[in-house]
Amino acid sequence: MILKEKTLYYLVKVISHLALISLAFYVVQFYQDGAVVKAIGKAFESVTVETFSLRYTNFLIFTYDTVHYYRNSGFCWEPGAFGSFLTLALLFNFLINNFKLNKEAFIITLAILTTVSTTAYLGVFLLFFLRYRVLNKGSKVAIIVFAIVFAIAIPNVPFLGEKIVEIYDQDIRDLKELEQLSNYYEDVQRQIPLNRFASVIFLYEQFDWKLFLGVSNQYDEYYINEYNVNISNGIMDFITKFGVVGLFVLLYRYGKLCKVYLRKMEYVVYAILILIILSFGEPILMLPICVMFIFLPTFKNKDFSALSFNYRTKYLALQKTENL
């Protein structure tokens, strides 16, 4: 509401700066099994929390998770979430800078690579394909080549095809053993961590047709009492709260914002697919970085579609003059 049409510009700046910081800490986390970042995190947590996690430490701008010791969690709670933030920031950067590969683009892309996140990788692959099409370098032959490469990569790249199949198989096993898992996690005082596909199936079985309009933001109160689960599918989480109708409203407003910068509906569809891919993983649709899409199109009355030059030379220069 405050930043209005400057929102995307400053989001890119902030996230690219934090991404650069994360790269520095990411290198440090490989030293002595993360001893340095653990020490910083414990010192920070000593004045902020009463109990300490044996799994990870967090100090405002960086998280180190021992389970993901080789991956970059950045300022988020885990690498997949960080990858989603970064991919959205890279999309924003391309939109407002006419898809130029500037300094921010290189920093954010490098940070995405360190997350080793399947959803982020898939999202950024589609994003660069979108860039390829927008810059008028695409052809039917090129599209076919991209599709073939993508189809070959999924079953052959370990963290794509194998990981997706492995997650699905494990999810089905977890759902079949939900009662036993419930007893175990109750003993250790934790929630049952349902993964991507298990979250979809579980919520559909609980609410069925009610998912059309949703069952409110506090839908966890409607769980079957004996199952205390943790949902990790952003799309299904949002649908359960606000229904299929709510999801379409969000995607429509997001598409309307993207249309300001993109010339064709084909490109807008790609942008929507990117958001769907990212939100299939972490529950990011409820966070401000996605909820803002409902409001941002309202502030696009001015023409900022040529942003790289006009935005900085005319609008930002004007703002600086007024501030002086």
User: Tens digit of pLDDT per residue, the chain (324 long)?
Assistant: 778 778 899 999 999 999 999 999 999 898 888 788 888 888 888 777 777 777 778 888 988 888 888 899 989 988 999 999 999 999 999 998 889 899 999 999 999 999 988 889 989 999 998 998 888 765 666 667 666 766 665 555 554 555 666 667 777 777 776 766 666 666 666 677 777 788 888 888 888 888 899 888 777 766 655 567 777 788 998 999 999 999 999 999 999 999 888 878 989 999 999 999 999 888 889 898 998 998 888 776 555 444 444 555 555 555 555 444
Most distant CA pair in the chain, distance: 66
| Residues 240, 242, 245, 249, CA torsion sign | negative
- 104/109 Cα distance (integer angstroms): 8
**Per-residue tokens: 142:** 């090129």
Flag whether 104 is in a domain. Answer: no
pLDDT of residue 308: 43
Flag whether 171 is in a domain. Answer: yes
- 100/258 Cα distance (integer angstroms): 16
- 278/112 Cα distance (integer angstroms): 12
| Residues paired with residue 304 on neighbouring β-strands, in sequence order | none
Flag whether 115 is in a domain. Answer: no
- 306/38 Cα distance (integer angstroms): 44
- 8/14 Cα distance (integer angstroms): 10
Domain of residue 257 covers 139-286
* Helix extents (H) in 157-284: 163-176, 178-187, 196-207, 234-261, 265-279
- 92/12 Cα distance (integer angstroms): 7
pTM for the model: 0.80
Flag whether 87 is in a domain. Answer: no
**Per-residue tokens: 87:** 């991919």
With 0-12 CB in 10 A as exposed, 13-18 as middle and 19+ as buried, what is 180?
A: exposed
**Per-residue tokens: 49:** 């929390």
Flag whether 206 is in a domain. Answer: yes
Question: Amino acid identity of 117?
Answer: S
* Helix extents (H) in the chain: 7-28, 35-45, 79-96, 103-115, 118-134, 140-156, 163-176, 178-187, 196-207, 234-261, 265-279, 288-291, 307-310, 317-323
Flag whether 250 is in a domain. Answer: yes
Flag whether 308 is in a domain. Answer: no
How many structural domains does the chain have?
Answer: 1
User: Mapping DSSP to helix (H, G, I), strand (E, B) and coil, where does residue 65 land?
Assistant: strand
| Residues paired with residue 193 on neighbouring β-strands, in sequence order | 230
Flag whether 264 is in a domain. Answer: yes
